[in-house]
Amino acid sequence: MSQENTSIITVGKLGAPYGIKGWLKVHSFTDDPEGIFDFSPWLIGQQGKWQTLEVVDWRRHNKGFIAKVAQVNDRDEAMALTNVEISVDAAQLPELPQGEFYWRDLIGMSVVTDKGYDLGIVDDLMETGSNDVLVVKANKKDAFGQAERLIPFLTDSVIKEVKHDAREITVDWDPGF
């Protein structure tokens, strides 16, 4: 499988070795923490190249998880993987229902008001507890002098339409904010 034309997504990180048989602590970044174990194989980048890790066993441990990967059989081998990011090929991500999006798909999209004002480009997203927030980097010559806008990702009330193919999000938002 060629890595050049696929996108790689970070889904977690390997932690410290656990025990002497090559088990490692696992820090999951997925919405449902156990979801990290639905992906196989894991990809890890070391010394500038990708290698795959096959998870052979895992379990809950305290507030987190521990996992055993096929190629790692002792504490020293596990130690070499401490703090390495766990990635997967984006093609492994499940298809989302209509109207749901992966954050990575929204980054770089233009944000335009329903009155046609160009607010800028999605630079990042934040989780606030109640809802996600688009961090929109404003255009250099923004008429309202804004450098960045924080726009709540509230479907229907604020987010009117996400056009995947046009890479554009239409919002009901006052450009002065």
Last residue of a domain, one of 71, 92, 113: 92
The pLDDT of residue 177 is: 87
The reply to whether 134 and 85 lie within a common domain is no
Check if the beta carbon of residue 67 is closer than 8 Å to that of residue 17.
Answer: no
The reply to whether 66 and 36 lie within a common domain is yes
| 166 domain-assigned | yes
The pLDDT of residue 1 is: 35
The reply to whether 12 and 88 lie within a common domain is yes
Can you tell me the distance from the alpha carbon of 148 to that of 120, in angstroms, rounded to the nearest whole number? 8
| 37 domain-assigned | yes
| 97 domain-assigned | no
Last residue of a domain, one of 92, 114, 132: 92
What distances in angstroms separate CA 64 from CA 15, 76, 84, one per listed residue? 10, 21, 16
Residue 96: HSE in the Cβ half-sphere, 13 Å Cα cutoff: 9
pLDDT in tens, 28-80: 988 889 999 999 899 998 878 889 999 999 999 988 999 999 989 999 999 99
Domain CATH code at residue 148: 2.30.30.240
What is the extent of the structural domain holding 141? Answer: 103-171
pLDDT in tens, 107-125: 899 999 999 999 999 999 8
Number of domains within the chain: 2
Domain CATH code at residue 75: 2.40.30.60
The pLDDT of residue 136 is: 96
Please tell me whether the peptide bond between 152 and the residue prior to it is cis, using omega within 30 degrees of 0. no
Q: Widest CA span of the chain, in angstroms?
A: 62
In the structure, what pLDDT confidence band is assigned to residue 85 with cuts at 50, 70 and 90?
Answer: very high
Strand, helix or coil for residue 33 = helix
Can you tell me the distance from the alpha carbon of 34 to that of 58, in angstroms, rounded to the nearest whole number? 10
The yes-or-no verdict on residue 100 having pLDDT over 80 is no
The reply to whether 74 and 118 lie within a common domain is no
